[in-house]
Structure 1
Amino acid sequence: MAKNQFGWTEDGSLIISMKEEHSGSHEAKKIIIPEGTATIEENAFYDHFRPLQVNAFTIPDTVTTIKARAFRNCRNLTAIVIPEGVTSIGDEAFAECVQLRSVTIPQSLTSLGKDAFTGAPWLKKQIKFFRKFQMLGKNILLQYTGQDSKVTIPKNVKYIAGGAFAKQEQLISIEIPEHVQAVGNGAFFHCMNLKEIKIAGNVRTLGEELFSGCTSLQRVELPEDLQKLREGTFRDCTSLKEVIFPIGLTEIGEEAFQGCAVLTECKLPDTVRVIGESAFRNCKMLREFHFPKRLVSVNDRTFEGCRSLQRAELPEAVCSIGESAFSGCHSLEGVHIPKEVRFLGRRAFYECKSLKEVTIPENIPEIPEDAFEYCTSLETVDICAGVERIQQKAFKCCTSLHTVTIGDGMKQIDADAFRACTALEQVQIPETVEQFGENVFYSVPWFRRNPETFLILGRGILMAYRGKMTHVRIPENVRRIEGHVFNVSNRPKIMTLTDNIESMEIQYIPGLTLILQRKGHSIRFKMDDKHYQAGRDEERVFEFWQKKHIITRHQIFHEMKDPIYKFPIAILMYLTEPEDEFYNYYVRRNGMDLLQYMIQHSDIENLKEFTEKGFINAENIDELINIAIESSQHGGSLEVQLFLMDYKRNQIGYESIEDVIAGAFNL
């Protein structure tokens, strides 16, 4: 971990940055936290295995928050002045400070966490008992020690510390009067029999997990001055049916109502701008939810598992829908995705089994993985122009989906995107699509029943071949060939490719004769098992054919070793790129070997081209004729032999009558 920035003062005090850890500060006796620091973070000076030797801290008056365990286990700390302006001290902030005997608490404090000073000698001296209430000073209620089922907070209490009533199973009813300003984290945590709570209107702060696990709580009216409902406030309140929210509320914290299984409706005020992750997760009976007009995002898992939620009319201000935001909302029949939405998380509407139609607006660049997977009632999908990618399994197993319209601008549709959409009969694919993943339309009727011999989609992408021809000529408008186009039942013996191909994923086809066409010329070679097992040159042929950049092609050609693949490429490129010195040099250097290759492979057309360019002359004609004669005896073309003999007779001439007889009778 990165060390803090720190420096020493003349008196030996350490000035330390609060941005990261306190590494390097173990030797200091006094630490000065610099002016401008607003928050002392969790565990800032806490080290369980190697406690700090610091006996004094200076906290500036710019600090407003001291988070959980910030000074825990500072065993040499004897005194601390918490300046005015600090409003919150977190759980266990000064716990186990076993020599802490002097603490100055500011009047500005509104929240004191659970066990904030546990183990400090100062705390023992400060605790006072008022009837059944353990008090810190006059205003802070630390803990309730009684066994009453109904409790009213004393009039002098302004703050209820974290955990003050935690796990008080006998507690049934509690009243928090108007003089209380703040209630700390987990103050009523797991009060399992708490059924009734009255909170006065001017309570401004309610801590995290305040009523978490209060499984008997049925109804809550939140105070009028409350602006933020913190993390886990009502988590797992499994009997909670009704919550009345104040008009000025602006934020709902993470997991605030998670697991409130019988909560049926939620009418948030339009002042709410933020709803945290998992805020209403697994509220299984939640049917109606009012989305506030100012809401800007639906965060991760916010409504995951809300099986009864029927509609999601998202306000126009929403610009983000997080991961699994509505996953498992089985009753969700309709959702309005606003035009301003720019991010859609994976599994956002996963298994929304009642959703019937959806429109993806133009500002969403990608439909993420599993976004609508298993939406089994989804019938129509309209993807607006501007959306560029559909990720894998986005609409997998949408078994009622019959119509998909994809607007211009779509570039990529990933593997299994529409797999097992068994009712899909109509799909509109724009010409802008450049790539399809594997099994995009697996078990899709529209794809399976398409009668085209060559099914070409998007920007010249060959998706399927329905023919049975032994010689397949790939159409010139094909730019990309997807994998598994050719299977066991339709594998060709000969395949012709043009130079328009930019990308292909053809798997090895045993015995395939490949013909490459370019600028009116062509070459062929056979991919047999022997050469396929020998190395990667057969793969380099396909790679070479896809790459169009001159230097890249030079590099791939240079890496080829096997003449079975290298020679035909050299022949074709020499004939079609006569000004390219790279191929010129190679051909001039290996001319005789290339001529022999053309003879042995009966490539008479290219042999004629090389003849016209002066590669055959009086010095090599006899050797070439002998090669042709030997080749014809092993199945080679007699036409090549006759061509060479005619060329010698007409262009070079015979030296003697014996030469003529030998040529005529193959002697």
Structure 2
Amino acid sequence: MIVLIYTSLKNLSWVGFFVAGIILLITSSFKLNKYWYKIGYANIINLTMFFGSIFIFLPLSAVIPYLRGVTYLPLNALMVIGFFIFGAGIIFLIINRNKSHLKMVFSGLFLTLASIMVYFIPVEDVKYRVEDYLDGVWIVDYRSNESYVEIPKVLNNKNVKGIAPYAFRSSSVEKVVVGDHIEYIGDYAFSYSKNLKEVILTEHVKLGQGVFYQAESLEKIILPKLDVLPQYTFAYNVSLKSIDLPDTLEGIDSYAFYGARNLKDFTLPNTLKYIGAFAFGQNHAITHFEMPDSVTYLGRGVFFENSKLQSVKFSKNIDYIPNQTFERTGLVSFTIPEHIKSIGANAFFDSRSLESLTLHDDINTIGESAFRNLIKLKEIQLPQNLTEISPYLLFNSSSIEKIIIPEQVKKIGHSAFKGMTNLKYIQLPLGLESIETSAFENTSLMEIELPETLNYLGARVFQDVKNLESITIPSLITSINVGLFNQARDLKEVHILGEITKIEYDAFRFASSLESIYYEGNLQSIGNYAFYGTSQLKAFDFKDTVTVIGDYAFSGSALKEVYLPKTVLQIGNFAFGLNEHLEKITLYESVNRMGLQVFLNTPKLTIYIIGEKIPEGWNEDFNPDNRPIIFQNE
């Protein structure tokens, strides 16, 4: 009795029934042998305790926690035990033919049927599984298929204070009403509830993140008086077309409406201070967006993939356009507001409908790939305050024909204008110092004047440039970088004013129109494939500083006569091969490395070696076609 009273006060009466039932069962079993065959009150009491524990106390200990939404495991266990007793009784009855086993059969049958019947009792608590939360409980699981849910105030004799994370995840509920007794709804509580259409929330409930994440059918919701709309709250709510945002709202967190692609009708309150990253991303209904001047912070990608977007009014307290803000939007024209001072990386990336973009001179920084893939943009005037052209700035913006680089710019970044296939004219500032890798690759430049201040030309800067026929490299450049003019098929003439020390690999590879190259002395190394496929190059001045000629360096060229100075120590594989025009080459026996098939397929060639014999360090197959060799004295 004490156990029952104590556990009832703690709202754990089912535990009391279980403990009492076990005590009675053990006590009655212990006394059974002593009094079972005797007639009297002791026997009656003993039988009462035994059957009371079996048919009342222990079943109640299983039924109560189920009906109160605590757990269904004891009830399941009771059903299994009852079925086991029922089955065992039948087996014993068949084997022993003893009618006393009928008690066992009926006991098991009673427990089995009783536990099954409990599942059909229409009690509210059965629909929910709860756990202790604050000074009450919160719902941790919804176990019903009913489409309408009004969150109960009391479950398991305790006040319901909240809804736990994932409690209604993937449920079939269609409408939910949350009363003012609920203080908190946990993360992703109604996520993936694909039938959920309507939600009514009272004013003071707080929300975790992603509460309605991917609730694909949600059409109507009444929001509480929120300060912040948490991240992912309405992400991928594809049926949501309108929403009334509370006038207390100060923040919209990251991804709050991401993928809510049909959302169009809403008004941002004047209390709003920030909009998080990708908050309205992947929307295909918003055409005009107006943010109040109370907004002081924007995250990146707020309008990411807004395919119908036509205009945006920025808060006057925002002086920057964050990274990815208009990435892959449907903007056709846009004018940067005067209060905007910087534009982030990928800000307009891949907005392929953008035809007009107006900048102003007070913009001082533009991030990487900001105007990348703007394939319909035909002109752009870069701000005069820029000091650097960021990498990939106009990469693949293929309709622009003319660019004027602002006077203060010192550096043009990696691939800044790469893939601008219609770019024919560019004006560089007089103080420019550096042009990084692939800056003008795959453009149609007809001419370009490199300023005297230029001291660095990166790899592949003019690779695959069409229409460019001549160029002068300024004096501060001391190396022709990797692939600098690779596949510049219209290039005919190159003037190098500085004393270069190295021509890197692929430098003029497949520059098939190149006829002449002029440079000052001090060249030491010519890299692999440096002049490979220069089918119009008939002469090259090997200065007496050259020491290394790389693999395939002049293979496929049109050189007719070559004189290699005594300084040359290494000649790479196939270096002068595939040249039907080459008639004479003179070299010294001081060359200590001669590669494989250096003179392959040179049908007119005669080789002149200044010396007395072929050095041992030369590859045996350097002259695979056995072209004639003549030894000469120095």
Equivalences for residues 390-409 of structure 1 within 5 A:
390-409=480-499
Equivalences for residues 487-636 of structure 1 within 5 A:
496=588, 524-527=612-615
1:414-453 CA-to-partner distances (Å, cap 9, x unmatched) read 2232222233334322224332223433343662x33x8x
The aligned residue for residue 346 of structure 1 is 437
Change (3 A) 1:151 1:126: closer
Match of 1:318 among 406, 409, 417: 409
The aligned residue for residue 463 of structure 2 is 373
Q: What displacement does 1:252 show?
A: 1.8
The aligned residue for residue 257 of structure 1 is 348
The aligned residue for residue 126 of structure 1 is 206
Q: What displacement does 1:508 show?
A: 8.0
Q: Is the 8 A contact 1:351 1:376 kept in 2?
A: yes
Change (3 A) 1:487 1:127: closer
1:225-256 CA-to-partner distances (Å, cap 9, x unmatched) read 2122222212111x211223222323222222
Amino acid of the residue matched to residue 542 of structure 2? I
Q: Is the 8 A contact 1:376 1:399 kept in 2?
A: yes
Match of 1:303 among 394, 415, 424: 394
Counterparts of 2:269 and 2:544, CA distance in 1? 68
SS at match of 1:441: coil
Counterparts of 1:244 and 1:494, CA distance in 2? 65
Q: What displacement does 1:133 show?
A: 5.3
2:463 equivalent to 1:360: no
SS at match of 1:404: strand
2:272 equivalent to 1:187: no
Q: Is the 8 A contact 1:173 1:195 kept in 2?
A: no
Q: What displacement does 1:306 show?
A: 0.8
SS at match of 1:424: coil
Equivalences for residues 129-278 of structure 1 within 5 A:
132=221, 134-135=223-224, 137-138=226-227, 143=233, 149=241, 153-237=245-329, 239-278=330-369
Q: What displacement does 1:263 show?
A: 0.6
Q: Is the 8 A contact 1:386 1:410 kept in 2?
A: no
1:254-294 CA-to-partner distances (Å, cap 9, x unmatched) read 22211100111222232322222222221111122221222
The aligned residue for residue 419 of structure 2 is 328
Q: Is the 8 A contact 2:436 2:456 kept in 1?
A: no
The aligned residue for residue 279 of structure 1 is 370
Q: Is the 8 A contact 1:173 1:197 kept in 2?
A: no
Counterparts of 1:494 and 1:479, CA distance in 2? 11
Match of 1:384 among 474, 491, 495: 474
Amino acid of the residue matched to residue 347 of structure 2? A
Compare 458-467 and 412-421 and name the one that shifted more: 458-467
SS at match of 2:475: coil
SS at match of 2:472: strand
Change (3 A) 1:358 1:118: farther
2:531 equivalent to 1:441: yes
Q: Is the 8 A contact 1:175 1:197 kept in 2?
A: no
1:282-319 CA-to-partner distances (Å, cap 9, x unmatched) read 11111222212222322222221111122221212323
Q: Give the number of the structure whose alpha-carbon radius of gyration is greater.
A: 2
Q: Calculate the aligned-residue CA RMSD, in Å.
A: 4.4
Amino acid of the residue matched to residue 359 of structure 1? E
SS at match of 2:312: strand
Equivalences for residues 71-90 of structure 1 within 5 A:
none
Q: Is the 8 A contact 1:473 1:496 kept in 2?
A: no
Q: Is the 8 A contact 1:127 1:135 kept in 2?
A: no
Amino acid of the residue matched to residue 292 of structure 1? P
Match of 1:456 among 542, 564, 568: 542
Counterparts of 1:494 and 1:372, CA distance in 2? 33
Change (3 A) 1:293 1:496: closer
Q: Is the 8 A contact 1:473 1:497 kept in 2?
A: no
Counterparts of 1:366 and 1:230, CA distance in 2? 31
Change (3 A) 1:147 1:346: same
Q: Is the 8 A contact 2:410 2:434 kept in 1?
A: yes
Change (3 A) 1:362 1:513: closer
Which ranges in structure 2 are unaligned for 5 or more consecutive residues?
Answer: 1-133, 135-163, 167-184, 190-203, 212-219, 600-606, 621-632
Q: Is the 8 A contact 2:344 2:366 kept in 1?
A: yes
Change (3 A) 1:322 1:515: same
2:382 equivalent to 1:291: yes
Which ranges in structure 1 are unaligned for 5 or more consecutive residues?
Answer: 1-77, 79-95, 99-115, 517-523, 534-604, 606-667
Q: Is the 8 A contact 1:399 1:421 kept in 2?
A: yes
SS at match of 2:323: coil
Counterparts of 1:505 and 1:173, CA distance in 2? 76
Q: What displacement does 1:393 show?
A: 1.9
Change (3 A) 1:97 1:319: farther
Equivalences for residues 632-647 of structure 1 within 5 A:
none
Counterparts of 2:586 and 2:486, CA distance in 1? 36
Amino acid of the residue matched to residue 187 of structure 2? T
SS at match of 1:197: strand
SS at match of 1:165: coil
Equivalences for residues 638-657 of structure 1 within 5 A:
none
The aligned residue for residue 101 of structure 1 is none
Change (3 A) 1:212 1:339: same
Compare 393-402 and 206-215 and name the one that shifted more: 393-402
Compare 367-376 and 198-207 and name the one that shifted more: 198-207
Counterparts of 1:251 and 1:160, CA distance in 2? 23
Compare 276-285 and 413-422 and name the one that shifted more: 413-422
Q: What displacement does 1:456 show?
A: 2.6
Q: Is the 8 A contact 2:522 2:543 kept in 1?
A: no
Structure 1-normalised TM-score? 0.51
Amino acid of the residue matched to residue 408 of structure 1? G
Q: Is the 8 A contact 1:274 1:295 kept in 2?
A: yes
2:519 equivalent to 1:423: no
1:536-568 CA-to-partner distances (Å, cap 9, x unmatched) read xxxxxxxxxxxxxxxxxxxxxxxxxxxxxxxxx
Counterparts of 1:207 and 1:457, CA distance in 2? 58
The aligned residue for residue 556 of structure 1 is none
Amino acid of the residue matched to residue 402 of structure 2? R
Amino acid of the residue matched to residue 288 of structure 1? E
Q: Is the 8 A contact 2:207 2:230 kept in 1?
A: no
Q: Is the 8 A contact 2:390 2:413 kept in 1?
A: yes
The aligned residue for residue 611 of structure 1 is none
Structure 2-normalised TM-score? 0.54
Change (3 A) 1:186 1:466: closer
1:143-191 CA-to-partner distances (Å, cap 9, x unmatched) read 4689664556443322222222222232234443543221111211111
